[in-house]
Chains A and B, each alone.
Chain A
Amino acid sequence: MAGTTESLARFAPELVLSATILAILIVDLIARLQPKRPSLLSGVALVGLSAMAGALWLTPTGDTSLFTHLLAFDGLARYFKGFFILAAALGVLFGHLSDEISRSRLGEYYIQLLCLTLGLSLLASAQNLLMLYLALELVSLPSYVLSGFRWWDRRASEAALKYVVFGGAASGVMLYGFSLIYGITGTLQIDGVAAALTAAATGGQGIAGQLGLLMAVMLSLAGFGYKVAAVPFHMWCPDVYEGAPTTFVAFLSVAPKAAGFAALIRFFVVGFGQPAPGAAGFPWAEILGIIAIGTMTLGNVVAVTQDNVKRLLAYSSIAQAGYLIMALAVGTDEAIRAVMLYLGFYLLMNMGAFFGVQLAGGERLSAFRGMASRNATLAITMAIFLFSLTGIPPFAGFIGKFYLFAAVLSVGEPFFYALAIIGVLNSAISLYYYAKVVRVMFLDKAEEGDGVVEVSRPASALLLALAGPTLLFGVWWAPLADLIDKASSILR
């Protein structure tokens, strides 16, 4: 455990981020009448995020826990912090290029986005239930605000309302679950839970104790499940994705989901032993596996019927969460590395796909009609992202899925074979609706009124910058896999 000074040194990335938030607030006020204000704000945000990346790079490595065991500082936390910096930088760039965010509100948009990022980084490293809850709320509150950002659209206000109501309910239920865990284990530390559980198991808890533990974990799962949009806590997802600004949905569909998985990994693997704990005699792996089946099946089946691309991608992101929960159920080191790798690819392809929707200027499937002749760059990059999401070679998504399924199959139990088969069938269904969008872009003819889609040069460059790695990682993923192999240590 590191003392306060050492903790602060390892907390430098978050300190830089907090300073950036305040700097944006001040610049936003001072530069009110500057015609260059949007560029200035984006510049400050990007410089701040780069400084955060630098601080993360320079912090001493070596796993330890910070601030009297409130935060873990380990490979998992560092990997996800880097992930969130990249996602936030893309979020800032998308916001800068977006016409949904009015220029006079750009500062407020960035402040909310970066506060959210601060919450994400804490969520990925929280080692204490109080810290976990606080981080979750720090992620949620800005998400509610940003979902309602396009307030001139009725759908945006409704989306924000649904989100805040559902999110509040989920976090309340999770708080109750945490209180039960505290009651059963007598500690708020996640790493203390495992020890307390083992002690309780040997002490003979009886049926009530077992039931209490089951309740505690299931109720806590509500909060995580809502963050990663797992069935049955997914209901908010399509509506919020439809109503929120596309530029924010790109971020929302990736970063909070990844943070939710980081927290889930810590909660289950650290708190409840590894692999699936036998200590308390509950089949956690099977419970998570069933959630995974429900999540991916529902996501994929409903996505088939959508003709709004944002909603389609919302259901697709639910399905993607299903594949990840499937690997989480396995809970081995290999599976966790697969989850981290897949999330890395998911960042590129999902943010890219939503950025494509943002640039296409419409979210109906018809807005994409004949895109190949209206803007070839957009059509081709969009096709790359969608095929990668399907998991077809030679795109990054295929490698990611390969690792996920390999991890599931390596367990060698009938339940996990069945899980993998259902996962593969689901991938086949998903090909249908992803390919539907591609077909509309390439095979349907543009009709009258479908003009050329103007995409500014920086936006095209950004699209290519996301599509390039999606292709490259599909054939040469070793660097990222190596990085994750080195950086997947989890403080227990």
Chain B
Amino acid sequence: MSDTLVAVVFYGLAIFTLSGAALVAFSRNIVHSAFALFATFVGVAGLYALMSANLLAVIQLLVYAGGILVLILFAVMLTSRIDEARVSNHAWGRQPAAWAVGGLTAILIYVAVKAPLKAPMIKGALGGPAAFGDALLGPYVLPFEIISMLLLAALIGAVTLARGRDAAEAAKLAKPAEAAAPVQAAEPAQAAEPAEAAEPAEEVNA
């Protein structure tokens, strides 16, 4: 590709990506935000491809645009009225927060433009699938194995959280746990244990 063409493609992708991100940040409708996120993910995949990180571009499309976004859409659709779950006790108002973030971004852009990071462009494609495979089973074999434990933990965790409750827990739900008096808290638990153990597999559909 000629330099001009690269520049045109780059600016196109950058505008696409950033306008998606801006919609995510500013749109009042959360469903619009979710779809704008799709544009950002695709745009980032395009940027990867432009940097000749082809495999990563494909993975970005598959995992981010195909997987994560679907999860997020699920969450949006299922919990349209979850607004009152405040993220944290915000000490900041929106206005100062926006200024602070703007200032931080300005510094980062300044650094990106001025910092002595300018280096000659390395020619040729980097990292085809074969090189990736070599690296993953060579110097990076440990993270490769560790991430399988992490995925196992995430899988079991998600199932733990999402599965139906069993009889003992349904009983707990019937009697809210808050402010249980000390004596009462100790006794039913012990009494409940044998019963639970006898029928652990019994689950009540939520």
Binding site for B on A (CB under 8 A): 18, 21, 25, 32-38, 66-68, 70-71, 99, 102-105, 108, 111-112, 115-116, 118-119, 122, 130-131, 134-135, 137-138, 141-142, 144-145, 148-153, 155, 158, 160-162, 165-166, 180, 183-184, 203, 205-209, 211-212, 215, 235-236, 239, 360-362, 364, 367, 374, 449-455
Contact = CB atoms under 8 A, between A and B. Distances in A.
B113, B182, B198, B200 — which one has the most chain A CB atoms within 10 A of its CB?
B182
Nearest to A367: B182
Contact of A37 (B88, B115, B197): B197
B111 A99 contact: no
B108 interface: yes
Interface in B169-206: 169, 172-173, 176-187, 189-190, 193-194, 196-198, 200-201
B186 A235 contact: no
Contact of B116 (A18, A208, A362): A208
14 contacts: A67-B142, A99-B190, A102-B196, A104-B168, A104-B196, A115-B152, A145-B157, A180-B111, A205-B116, A208-B113, A360-B182, A374-B182, A452-B183, A454-B187
B150 interface: yes
B85 interface: yes
Contact of A208 (B110, B141, B158): B110
Interface of B: 85, 87-89, 104, 107-108, 110-111, 113-117, 139-143, 146-147, 149-150, 152-154, 156-158, 160-161, 165-166, 168-169, 172-173, 176-187, 189-190, 193-194, 196-198, 200-201
Contacts of B154: 141
B156 A35 contact: no
Contact of A453 (B157, B165, B183): B183
Given A134-B143, A138-B150, A153 B177 contact: yes
Contacts of B169: 102, 152
A164 to B, nearest CB: 10
Nearest 8 interchain pairs by C-beta: A99-B189, A145-B157, A361-B182, A208-B114, A361-B185, A115-B153, A212-B111, A451-B183
Given A67-B141, A138-B146, A209-B115, A33 B200 contact: yes
Given A208-B110, A208-B116, A362-B180, A102 B166 contact: yes
Given A108-B156, A208-B114, A152 B87 contact: no
A362 to B, nearest CB: 5
Contacts of B172: 102, 152
A103 B182 contact: no
B186 A18 contact: no
Chain A interface, >50% SS class: helix
A180 B197 CA distance: 53
A152 B196 contact: no
A35 B194 contact: yes
Contacts of A361: 180-186
Given A21-B149, A102-B166, 8 more contacts: A70-B139, A138-B149, A152-B169, A153-B176, A161-B85, A207-B114, A208-B110, A208-B111
Given A137-B150, A138-B153, A361-B182, A151 B197 contact: no
Contacts of A207: 114
B115, B117, B177, B189 — which one has the most chain A CB atoms within 10 A of its CB?
B115
A118 B149 contact: yes
B150 A141 contact: yes
A211 B107 contact: yes
A335 B182 CA distance: 42
A480 to B, nearest CB: 31
A153 B201 CA distance: 22
Contacts of A38: 197
A18 B172 CA distance: 33
A16 B108 CA distance: 44
Contacts of A149: 160
Nearest to B86: A162
Nearest to A452: B183
Given A361-B181, A454-B183, A103 B193 contact: yes
Contacts of A161: 85
Given A209-B116, A211-B107, A99 B185 contact: yes
A211 B111 contact: yes
